[in-house]
């Protein structure tokens, strides 16, 4: 007696369809499972055996072999319980559906036969639809998430008996996906109207988000760096539907997707503690799961107290900052996670935080050099905008004048994004920060006078080719914000100013 059913397993943030085969034959009574299985999958036979017994179905006293194919893919997680149980029940003719090949089953089984939820349902249902399967049976708790995928019938079940009756009846049209919950936009509790003073820093934030450039804020403690960073989500535009689906899939695989609110509408703002491990930042594990940089995909990754992070952890950011994705290789395969985020970082200029104010800073020159050396030059080269956050005086803190709100800033950001999206649509990217080096001359042309100015700045600040191109990209963004087709001298001057700060500290320090 033989049967085969379909299920899916997570592979990175995507999924792969797995065939679960069950064979029951004469021989030594044994329940054997094969197919490159992790320990939690091997334990499924005990869960399935107990669940079948408690639901009133006794396993035959025969040789039971279950194979999860293809054997080249590592199987992890408890979501194989339900398809294994259904394959066995089909092999002993308790489930008599003629064709199980169009059904995908997902779910963990408790010893009492209850179907428990699993992670990554959104990704697995999308893979089932891609492979032309018609029906996906999922745990009841995962049904709302599963129904975010249109074009396929999704059914939620609570008990193993429900699955048996459902498949034997073969009536699946009744359970077709209904209306999806609308994506929820969560209002940000921080607004730029709360920020007094720091006009240069506010301007730098607007430029950074308008062109999706990386930003570093340097200043003494209490200057408002962290609070300003928390205001940045309030000026981020909403995501398109395809972006919402991709981000929701990442969060679903990570087990932190809240299906009550439907697809994620807010661009993410992730702020990991400085003790985060390299695996926590970029992703890891034998079967890698997304890290903080992928959870920040399409939004902001905020690293507060940048110099407190482990230097080797920070250096890992260099490749994803350039490639907008992270590639992880393991013995089980190679995985690629999206990592298209804006890096926003904040740091003090020295251990005490008050350099270069020598009246308050008591750090030695050697101490300052050691402190700043925690941030390597190659990493600094990948940050487009460096800006200083000076200490506010009493009158600035207590000023009662009305500050510009995030709503008005966001309107300008959206306008700049629309301009860039229209310009770059034929080229496969969206923002000025993503202009390839071989297209810099096309999108950032300079007059002879401006080219001469940039040559002087290149020599004065000892720029690299990478930083020179970043200055031009930032200048392109500033020109777009001004509504100018051409990059003018004042745009270049402002863009160069954002590169001069890192030279001030890292050369003078």
Q: Which domains does the chain have, with CATH numbers?
A: 2-175 (3.30.230.10), 192-421 (3.40.50.300)
Using an 8 Å Cβ cutoff, are 326 and 336 in contact?
yes
Condensed to tens digits (0 to 9), the pLDDT of residues 443-498 reads 999 999 999 999 999 998 888 899 999 999 999 999 999 999 999 999 999 999 99
Instruction: Give the dihedral of Cα atoms 97, 99, 101, 105; nearest 10 deg.
Output: -10
- Find, among 46, 80, 77, 78, the residue nearest to 64 by Cα: 46
pLDDT at 358: 79
pLDDT of residue 502: 65
User: Quick one: which of 328, 218, 226 has its CA closest to 269?
Assistant: 226
Percent of the chain with pLDDT over 70: 94
Identify the weakest region by mean pLDDT among 29-33, 99-103, 340-344, 397-401: 397-401
Q: Which long-range contacts (CB under 8 A, 24 or more apart) does 57-62 make?
A: 57/89, 57/94, 59/31, 59/88, 59/92, 60/24, 60/92, 61/29, 62/24, 62/25, 62/26, 62/27, 62/29
Alpha-carbon gap, residue 319 to 326, rounded angstroms = 7
Residue 14 has pLDDT above 50, yes or no: yes
Closest C-alpha among 504, 446, 503 to residue 472? 446
150 and 177 in contact (C-beta within 8 Å)?
A: yes
Note the pTM of the prediction, 2 decimals.
Answer: 0.88
Residue 187 is predicted with a pLDDT of 60
- 179-183, 237-241, 360-364, 467-471: the lowest-pLDDT one: 179-183
Quote the mean pLDDT of the chain: 89
356 upstream amide cis, omega within 30 of 0: yes
Residue 179 binned pLDDT confidence (cut-offs 50, 70, 90): very low
User: SS3 for 41-86, per residue?
Assistant: HHCHHHHHHHHHHHCCCCCCCCEEEEEEECCCCCECCCCCHHHHHH
Question: Considering only CA atoms, which of 261, 97, 117 is closest in space to residue 170?
Answer: 97
- Distance from C-alpha of 157 to C-alpha of 140, rounded to nearest angstrom: 5
Quick check: 24 pLDDT over 90?
A: yes
Residue-wise pLDDT for 311-328, tens only, equals 999 999 999 999 999 988
DSSP calls for 222-255: TSSHHHHHHHGGGGPPPPPHHHHHHHHHHHHHHT
Which structure tokens are listed for 232? 């940045």
Q: What is the pLDDT of residue 474?
A: 97
Q: Among 7-11, 368-372, 445-449, whose mean pLDDT is lowest?
A: 368-372
pLDDT, greater one: 179 or 257: 257
Cβ–Cβ contacts within 10 Å for residue 187, how many? 7
CB 496 within 8 A of CB 455: no
What integer pLDDT is reported at residue 506 of this predicted model? Answer: 64
Closest CA to 84 of 99, 72, 100, 98: 100
| Stretch 293-307: mean pLDDT | 95
More confident site: 291 or 396 = 291
Backbone φ, ψ for residue 485 (5° rounding): -70, -30
Rounded Cα distance between 271 and 302, Å, is: 5
pLDDT: which is higher, 488 or 399: 488
Residue 195 in this model has a pLDDT that exceeds 90: no
- Least confident stretch, 141-150, 182-191, 212-221, 374-383: 182-191
- Percent pLDDT > 90 in the chain is 63
Give yes or no for residue 348 having a pLDDT over 60.
Answer: yes
Non-local (6+) Cβ contacts of 47 within 8 A are: 78, 81, 108, 109, 110, 111
Residue 385 exposure: Cα atoms within 13 Å on the Cβ side: 33
State residue 509's pLDDT score. 47
- Residue 312, SS3? helix
* Phi, psi of 182, rounded to the nearest 5 degrees: -75, 145
> What are the backbone dihedrals phi and psi of residue 65, each rounded to the nearest 5 degrees, phi first?
-120, 125
Residue 138 has a pLDDT of 95
Span between the terminal Cα atoms of the chain, in Å: 76
Nearest partner of 443 among 467, 419, 460, 407, judged by Cα: 419
Q: Which two tokens stand for residue 181?
A: 């919950």
Mean pLDDT of 114-124: 94
**pLDDT at residue 180 greater than cutoff 70:** no
> E strand or H helix at 367, and its extent?
helix 365-372
Residues forming a β-bridge with 5: 20
d(CA 135, CA 149): 12
Q: How far is CA 82 from CA 30, 58, 106, 208, 262, in A?
A: 20, 16, 6, 48, 25
């Amino acid at each position: 007696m033989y049967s085969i059913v379909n299920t899916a397993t997570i592979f990175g943030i995507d999924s792969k369809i797995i065939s679960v085969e069950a064979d029951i034959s004469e021989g030594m009574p044994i329940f054997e499972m094969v197919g490159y299985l992790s320990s939690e999958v091997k334990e499924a036979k005990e869960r399935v055996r107990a669940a079948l017994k408690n639901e009133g179905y006794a396993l035959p006293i025969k040789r039971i072999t279950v194979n999860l194919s293809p054997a080249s893919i590592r199987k992890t997680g408890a979501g194989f319980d339900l398809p294994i149980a259904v394959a066995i029940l089909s092999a002993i003719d308790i489930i008599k559906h003629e064709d199980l090949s169009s059904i995908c089953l997902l779910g963990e089984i408790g010893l009492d036969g209850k179907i428990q939820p699993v992670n990554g349902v959104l990704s697995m249902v999308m893979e089932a639809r891609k492979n032309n399967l018609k029906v996906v049976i999922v745990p009841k708790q995962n049904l709302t998430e599963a129904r975010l995928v249109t074009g396929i019938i999704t059914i939620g079940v609570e008990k193993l008996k429900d699955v048996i009756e459902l498949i034997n009846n073969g009536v699946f049209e009744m359970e077709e996906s209904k209306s999806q919950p609308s994506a929820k936009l969560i209002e940000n509790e921080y607004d730029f109207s709360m920020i007094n003073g720091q006009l240069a820093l506010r301007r730098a934030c607007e430029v950074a988000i308008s062109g999706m450039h990386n930003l570093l804020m340097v200043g003494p403690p209490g200057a408002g760096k962290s609070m300003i960073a928390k205001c940045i989500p309030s000026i981020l535009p909403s995501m398109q539907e395809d972006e919402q689906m991709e981000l929701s899939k990442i969060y679903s695989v990570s087990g932190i997707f809240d299906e009550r609110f439907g697809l994620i509408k807010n661009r993410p703002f992730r702020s990991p503690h400085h003790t985060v491990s390299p695996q926590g930042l970029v992703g890891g594990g034998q079967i890698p799961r997304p890290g903080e940089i992928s959870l920040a995909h399409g939004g902001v990754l905020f690293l507060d107290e940048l110099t407190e992070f482990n230097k080797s952890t920070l250096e890992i950011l260099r490749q994803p900052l350039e490639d907008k994705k992270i590639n992880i290789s393991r013995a089980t395969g190679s995985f690629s996670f999206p990592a298209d985020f804006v890096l926003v970082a904040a740091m003090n200029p020295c251990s005490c935080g008050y350099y270069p104010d020598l009246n308050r800073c008591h750090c030695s020159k050697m101490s300052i050099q050691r402190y700043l050396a925690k941030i390597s030059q190659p990493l600094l080269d990948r940050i487009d905008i460096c800006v200083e956050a000076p200490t506010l005086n009493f009158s600035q803190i207590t000023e009662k004048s009305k500050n510009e709100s995030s709503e008005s800033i966001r309107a300008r950001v959206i306008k700049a994004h629309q301009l860039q999206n229209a310009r770059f649509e034929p080229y496969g990217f969206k923002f000025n920060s993503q202009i390839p080096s071989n297209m810099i001359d096309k999108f950032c042309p300079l007059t002879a006078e401006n080219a001469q100015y940039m040559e002087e700045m290149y020599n004065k600040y000892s720029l690299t080719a990478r930083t020179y191109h970043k200055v031009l990209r930032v200048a392109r963004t500033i020109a777009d914000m001004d509504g100018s087709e051409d990059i003018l001298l004042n745009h270049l001057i402002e863009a160069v100013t954002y590169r001069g700060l890192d030279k001030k500290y890292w050369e003078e320090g």
